[in-house]
Chains A and B, each alone.
Chain A
Amino acid sequence: MATGQKAQTISAPWSILRPKGRRHKDLYVALLFLAPSLLGLFLLQVLPIGTALVLGVSEWNIIDPIKFVGLSNFVEVATDATFYHTLENTLYLTVGLEVLNTLLGLCAALLLKNAMRGIDLYRTIYFLPLITTWAAVAIAWRYMYSLEGPINALLGPLGIDPIPWLSRPEWAMPAVIITITWKTLSWKTIILLAGLQSIPNEFYEASSIDGASRWQQFWKITLPLLSPAMFFALIIGIINTLQLFDPIFIMTDGGPADSTRTLSYYIYTRGFQNLRMGYAAALSWVLFAIILLFTLIQWVLQKRWVFYQ
């Protein structure tokens, strides 16, 4: 069918911001198509964010009037030990979660791509963690991590003493990373699965005729053609992980000894518990700058590894 052949030659899957010459004649049509999005962007994002920008240079305890304080909030951020500590935790969490999620998500997507017997059931099962409520997840995993629980039981024969996962500062973060990976893995899997399905089968068939092994096919075809989807998932994943809050709140409440308190949790505490909305806004802008920096770095680095057809 014509569709397929053209897809190979013309489409640039996952290509981002690739201008193809300026044509302004679409302006009015574009306005029509964009109108709902622009309205939403303005009401739900630009206005509240604009307000937050003003708050960043203010002192506001929610109850009294807003007071302009210049850049003093940002000066305070620079010397705030808790800020650095929570930032460190956030980066630890982000790196750990992204590495695990990407590797395991890729494995799961490759498994689920195959048209094997019972695939519908498997796909549903792989999707279940995402919909299981956090309350149930937290209780079940607390049991998993307990001293007499299954994880320590598996480690026992390897000669590893039982690990108090959630109550030691050095183990809490790895435990949190494992649980969140388990819970959010299928998010990555869905994106990668959708990406895998856009790789035309004839590529594999052609290389099979040339005598390529499955391993070679994986490196020469699957990975390069999947890289744009992986890039997309990585960008979004990092943006989300750097703002992660709820799971930490439910699982460890930032403890023990602040070892799992993330920057966004700290922002929340400052805003709604210490009533320092101005300071919380300033911290948010710093977090925004960090996320933006990460995104830009990835954008620049994508040339090295992301392969557009």
Chain B
Amino acid sequence: MADQSLSRRRFLQSSALVAGGALMAACAPVAGDPGTAAADEGDSMSEEPVELVAQYWGTRPEFIEDREILAQRMTEKFPNVTASQNSVPGGQYGEKVLTAIAAGTPPDTMQLNHRWEPFFRGQEALLNVIPFADADAEFTFDVFYPRIIELGTTEGQLVTVPRGWNPFVIYYNRALFREAGLDDLTTSWENDTWNWDSFLETAQALTADSDGDGRTDVYGMFFPYWYPFLRLGGGDVLSDDQQSSGLGSPEALAALQWLADLRLTHGVSPTPAEIEGLGSAQDLFTAGRVAMFTAGAWGIGALTRVEGLDWDVGPLPRAAGQPPVGYTQYYGHGIPKGTQSAEWSWEYLKIISDEESNITVAQTIGDVPAMRHIAESEHFAGLPKPPTRQVFIDSAPHMQVWPTIAPITEIMSRAITPELNLAFLGEKSVEDAVAAAGPQVDEILATFWGN
């Protein structure tokens, strides 16, 4: 089949050049052809001028400022390097990187997370960073949470140098807790009195129709994410061997049913119809219409800005007979294949992931830094709000992520979520939804493993 395949780059470029690229070049301002920068840098790092670009998503001014500083620090360390950052809105990240890769001009480093890391690694578009780390006396993986490195490593390959992580916790409204006569939540992930039964009781105690019009005004809890509960209940979306859907397992079915019941039977969590137009989980929480909700550490930044809101965090509740699960999403940066010089990319990557950069993660961005000693220092753990920041850090020993196989996003978004949403709407039973999603998951997996 090799003779039938044709290099995408040559194919696209020849068609483009035939198109009279020369003519467009004539109208262009005097700008260096980016292609010349790709001239082979060789293995040794020369003193010749180099231009490096780091690709990120998210365009909030504080993010951009952070990335500008990282670029400046790179340029300061290597005077021949002109480092820059490139940020696009989150919704366009995939298109931006893919289009650049398709044109043969990948960025020098790129941001990765639970969604993009499996995707790009699965396409074999990323370099293994372990050889770089081994050859570099300045660098060690030992400063990071070992569990993040462990979870990110598949078959001896690691493609992401982590920068931060977002443990999921329960955010709760302390004022509503006091009104309902409830104590603050435990801070211990191991405490098994904080379990699904006590969670439901707490949610029931918080759910209230305060104006007595027959409609619920305060809901005990809201779950914008169902996946953490699936894991807490001992289930997962894939079978252990990752060959088929895992939603049919008794643990998974029970966990999903329990979630559906929160809404449809117990009425402690609103259905989408009941909160139509009221905004996101966070909006509902700040408006005092939801007393508990699940989210990652990003909730800190958002809730801290709300004046007069008395809130704190607690661990995810344990399911009966199951160990604690600290579901998290980590993110970091990697090196795409085909960059102008992997060595320079590695140097840039080191600055993006270093100690100073981790401090920014803690203080400015508000996530938990990937470096353990920074997370546990005054830069994160020592900050005043919420009072029990330790809950985030204490989830580390129980850290779990979602499956890291390449088609995971497709499996979640295309096969599972639409069906489960029907179940959570009460349109279908959980069994029927799982039975409908199963073959779709299996089909995606068969295509994936078949290749």
Residues of A within 8 A of B (CB): 39, 42-43, 47, 50-51, 54, 60-68, 142-149, 164-169, 255-258, 269, 272-275
List 26 A-B residue pairs with CB atoms under 8 Å apart, sorted by A's residue number. Answer: A42-B20, A43-B19, A47-B18, A50-B15, A54-B11, A61-B123, A62-B8, A62-B102, A62-B123, A63-B102, A63-B125, A65-B8, A67-B4, A67-B5, A68-B5, A145-B276, A146-B278, A165-B276, A166-B277, A169-B427, A256-B272, A257-B425, A257-B427, A272-B94, A274-B410, A275-B98
Interface residues as binary, B392-432 with A (CB distance below 8 Å gives 1, 0 otherwise): 00000000000000010110011000100110010100000
Given the known inter-chain contacts A66-B5, A275-B98, please indicate yes or no for A147 contacting B12, CB distance below 8 A.
no
A67 in contact with B1 (CB, 8 Å): yes
B123 in contact with A273 (CB, 8 Å): no
CB contacts (< 8 Å) of B422 on chain A: these are 257
Query: Residue B273 at the A interface, CB < 8 A?
Result: yes
Query: Residue B210 at the A interface, CB < 8 A?
Result: no
8 Å CB contact of A62 from B101, B273, B427: B101
CB contacts (< 8 Å) of A167 on chain B: these are 271-273, 276, 425
A65 in contact with B7 (CB, 8 Å): yes
A275–B94 alpha-carbon span in the complex (Å): 10
Query: Residue B124 at the A interface, CB < 8 A?
Result: yes
CB contacts (< 8 Å) of B98 on chain A: these are 62, 272, 275
Query: Residue B95 at the A interface, CB < 8 A?
Result: yes
Secondary structure dominating the interface of B = helix
Query: Residue B6 at the A interface, CB < 8 A?
Result: yes
A149 in contact with B277 (CB, 8 Å): yes
CB contacts (< 8 Å) of A147 on chain B: these are 273-274, 276-277
Known: A67-B4, A144-B277. 17 other contacts (CB 8 A): A47-B19, A62-B123, A64-B123, A64-B124, A65-B5, A66-B8, A68-B4, A68-B5, A143-B277, A146-B277, A147-B273, A148-B277, A149-B277, A166-B272, A167-B272, A257-B418, A272-B94
A255 in contact with B123 (CB, 8 Å): no
- Residue of A with least CB distance to B409: A273
A274–B444 alpha-carbon span in the complex (Å): 10
A63 in contact with B124 (CB, 8 Å): yes
Q: Tell me the B80-119 residues at the A interface (CB within 8 Å).
A: 94-95, 98, 101-102, 119
8 Å CB contact of A255 from B6, B409, B418: B418
CB contacts (< 8 Å) of B11 on chain A: these are 51, 54, 66
A257–B421 alpha-carbon span in the complex (Å): 7
What distance in Å separates the Cβ of A231 from its nearest Cβ neighbour in chain B? 35
Query: Residue B175 at the A interface, CB < 8 A?
Result: no
A146 in contact with B8 (CB, 8 Å): no
What distance in Å separates the Cβ of A265 from its nearest Cβ neighbour in chain B? 12
Q: Tell me the B329-350 residues at the A interface (CB within 8 Å).
A: none
CB contacts (< 8 Å) of B414 on chain A: these are 269, 274
Given the known inter-chain contacts A142-B277, A169-B427, A272-B95, please indicate yes or no for A60 contacting B8, CB distance below 8 A.
yes
- Residue of A with least CB distance to B338: A63
A275 in contact with B123 (CB, 8 Å): yes
A167–B16 alpha-carbon span in the complex (Å): 45
Residues of B within 8 A of A (CB): 1, 4-8, 11-12, 15-16, 18-20, 24, 94-95, 98, 101-102, 119, 123-125, 271-274, 276-278, 407, 409-410, 413-414, 418, 421-422, 425, 427
A168 in contact with B273 (CB, 8 Å): yes
- Residue of B with least CB distance to A269: B414
What distance in Å separates the Cβ of B273 from its nearest Cβ neighbour in chain A? 3
- Residue of A with least CB distance to B120: A63
Q: Which 4 A-B pairs have the closest CB atoms?
A: A146-B277, A164-B273, A167-B272, A63-B123
What distance in Å separates the Cβ of A104 from its nearest Cβ neighbour in chain B? 24
CB contacts (< 8 Å) of A68 on chain B: these are 4-5
CB contacts (< 8 Å) of B8 on chain A: these are 60, 62, 64-66
- Residue of B with least CB distance to A46: B19
Residue from the set A47, A68, A167 with the largest chain B CB neighbour count within 10 Å: A167
- Residue of B with least CB distance to A68: B4
- Residue of B with least CB distance to A81: B440
- Residue of A with least CB distance to B12: A51
A273 in contact with B421 (CB, 8 Å): no
What distance in Å separates the Cβ of A274 from its nearest Cβ neighbour in chain B? 5
What distance in Å separates the Cβ of B315 from its nearest Cβ neighbour in chain A? 30
What distance in Å separates the Cβ of A283 from its nearest Cβ neighbour in chain B? 14
B277 in contact with A145 (CB, 8 Å): yes
B276 in contact with A43 (CB, 8 Å): no
Given the known inter-chain contacts A51-B12, A269-B414, A273-B94, please indicate yes or no for A255 contacting B276, CB distance below 8 A.
no
- Residue of A with least CB distance to B18: A47
A65 in contact with B278 (CB, 8 Å): no
CB contacts (< 8 Å) of A62 on chain B: these are 8, 98, 101-102, 123
CB contacts (< 8 Å) of A256 on chain B: these are 272, 421, 425
What distance in Å separates the Cβ of B434 from its nearest Cβ neighbour in chain A? 15
CB contacts (< 8 Å) of B276 on chain A: these are 145-147, 164-167
CB contacts (< 8 Å) of B278 on chain A: these are 146
A43–B427 alpha-carbon span in the complex (Å): 49
A50–B15 alpha-carbon span in the complex (Å): 9
What distance in Å separates the Cβ of B94 from its nearest Cβ neighbour in chain A? 6
A149–B414 alpha-carbon span in the complex (Å): 32
CB contacts (< 8 Å) of A60 on chain B: these are 8
What distance in Å separates the Cβ of B148 from its nearest Cβ neighbour in chain A? 26
A231–B102 alpha-carbon span in the complex (Å): 41
A273–B418 alpha-carbon span in the complex (Å): 16
CB contacts (< 8 Å) of A257 on chain B: these are 418, 421-422, 425, 427
A142–B283 alpha-carbon span in the complex (Å): 14
- Residue of A with least CB distance to B1: A67
CB contacts (< 8 Å) of A149 on chain B: these are 277
What distance in Å separates the Cβ of A250 from its nearest Cβ neighbour in chain B? 10
- Residue of A with least CB distance to B417: A255
CB contacts (< 8 Å) of B123 on chain A: these are 61-64, 275
A166–B102 alpha-carbon span in the complex (Å): 37
